[in-house]
Amino acid sequence: MISIHSKKGFDLNITGSPLPQTSPRETPVCVALLPEKIPFVKPRLKIKEGSQLQIGSVVFEDKRNPVIQFLSPGGGTVREIVFGPRRVIQKVIIQLDQEEERVSFPSYTDSQLADASRASLVEAILTGGLWCLFRELPFGDIPDPDIEPPSIIVSIDSREPFQPHPAVYLKGKADLLTAGIKILEKLSSSVHVSIHQDSDMPAGLAKGIVTHRVSGPYPAGDAGVLLYRTKKASAENRAWHISGQDLLLLAELIRTGQYPVERIVTLGGSLAREQLHIVTRMGAPLPHIAGENTGDPPRRRYIVGGIFRGYIAEKDSFLDLYATSLTILPEGDEKELFGFARPGSDKPTHSRTFLSSLKKAPFTVDCGVHGEQRACINCGYCDDVCAVDILPQFTLKSALAGEVEESLAHGLLDCVSCGLCTFVCPSKIDICAVLKGAREAYYKEMQD
C-alpha cells in the first residue's frame, strides 16, 4: 500500500455533522431524474408525460453518444417534465406505483464475472444504465466506453464535510466492494483504491483492496488529488474515477441484474431536524430526506452535494444522480449591526482574521459571505489551501483575461474544484467557479 500525504487544504470544523447511524425512510410517492445536473450531457428524452415506466426503463439518452442511457429510479407514471430557459430539461418527475415493476438485466455469478470479457461487462453496464457513474478526469465528463483509461481511481472518502462515512455505506457490503473492484479490473489494467487514513472502514475490509492510503486535510481524499500526487508528468492528467458508494451500485447491478435504487445520503447542518445517514431512494424528494415538508420556516438553505462543491437547491427539489448529501444551514444574509467591530468568535476563518481561530470546538456557520467582492490583494491565502499547487490567484487572472495557454501552464486542468480557494478568499472572489468555467469552455472548444 502506498502512503501519500497532501499538506495543503483545510478541515472545516462546524456543527451539524451527521452521526454514523442510519435511519430508513419509507418509499416516497415520487422520484425524479434531473438531467440539467449531469455535466456536459445533452439529453434526448425517450418518454413523455403519462408514459408508464418500470424501475430501469430508459428515460433519456445522451445525444452525443446514445449508448449512454439514464434509467428510471422508480416504477410508475411520468407525472411531469419540467423545462427551464431555452428548453433545458430540468426534471422528469415519476409518480410511483404501489407495486413497482422492474426491468431485468443480465446478471453474473462470481465465476461468470471472472470469465467475462471487457466488452460484455461494458455492454452490461451500458444497458443497465450505470455507465454515467464513471467520470473522467480532468474535465468530469462521462467517459467513452470504447477507450480504455490509463487508470481508474476509486475514492472511498473524499473528506468533504458531511459526506457519507465509509463505515456506514460499506457496512455488510464487503462482497459487493470486492466484486466492484473485479469489474473495474476488467475495464482497466490499473485500478487504484484510495482511503483517507482518518476514515473508518469496516474491520479487515481495507486489506487486499486499498492501494493508496492518503493523509492530510480536505480535499486529500479526492481522486484528482491522488492523480496529481501520483502522476509522473504534467500531461498525465487522464483517469476515470468513481466513488466508493457508486462502485457498490455497479456491483449490485452486475450481480443481481437489477437496477439498484437505494442511496445512503447524509442529512446534516445546524438546521437539519436530525443529523445522520438516511437510507432512501435515488432521486428522492428533498423534503422526504429532510423529514419535513416544504412549509419550513424561511431563511434556511438547502445544499445538495457537499458544503464546498454542492449547489443551492429549491426546497421542493429532488436528489440528483450523484448527490449523497443534503445540508441545511441558515442563510445568514441578515445585516449585522456593527458587524465590522465584532471580534468574529462565531465566524469560520482560515486566515485567523477572526477570534474563532482560537476555538477548538465546532462552531455554527451560516451561508453569509460577510462582505462584497473586491479586487485581489495578492494575500496568497488561496495558494495556502490549494492541494494541487496551481497558484489560484494567477490562474484566475489569466482565466479572466482569456489567456487559455497561460491558465493551462499554471495547471488549470489539475484543479479539482474543491472550493477552498473561494472559501478562504478575503476579497470574496469565487475563484473556483471562474476556473471551473474556464475548464469547461476549454473542453467544449476542444470537442468542436
Which residues bind to ligand SF4, rule: CB under 6 A? Answer: 376-382, 385-386, 388, 390, 392-393, 396, 415-421, 424-427, 429, 431-432, 435
Which amino acid, one-letter code, is at 271? Answer: L
Tell me the closest approach of the beta carbon of residue 375 to ligand SF4, in angstroms: 8
Cβ 269 to ligand SF4 shortest distance, Å: 22
Nearest to 384 by CA among 30, 8, 76, 2: 8
Q: How many other C-beta atoms lie within 10 A of the C-beta of residue 5?
A: 11
- Give kind and range of the element (H or E) at residue 289: helix 286-290
With 0-12 CB in 10 A as exposed, 13-18 as middle and 19+ as buried, what is 297? exposed
Cell of 333: 444574509
Residue 138 preceded by cis peptide, ω within 30: yes
**Min CB(438)–ligand SF4 separation in Å:** 11
Q: Kindly tell me which of 184 and 396 has the beta carbon lying closer to ligand SF4.
A: 396
Q: Locate cell 439498484: which residue?
A: 260
- Whole-number minimum distance, CB 369 to ligand SF4, in Å? 13
C-alpha cell at 396: 484566475
Nearer to ligand SF4, 310 or 392 (CB): 392
Q: Which is nearer to ligand SF4, 194 or 393 (CB)?
A: 393
Report the residue number, 179 or 416, with the smaller CB distance to ligand SF4: 416
What separation in angstroms does the CA of 189 have from each of 159, 302, 367, 397?
27, 40, 44, 39
Q: Report the nearest approach of ligand SF4 to the CB of residue 423 (Å).
A: 9
Which of 151, 105, 147, 111 is closest to 126 using CA atoms?
A: 105
Which of 58, 369 has the CB closer to ligand SF4? 369
Question: CB of residue 443 vs ligand SF4: minimum separation in angstroms?
Answer: 16
Which of 97, 430 has the CB closer to ligand SF4?
Answer: 430
Strands 239-243 and 276-281: unpaired
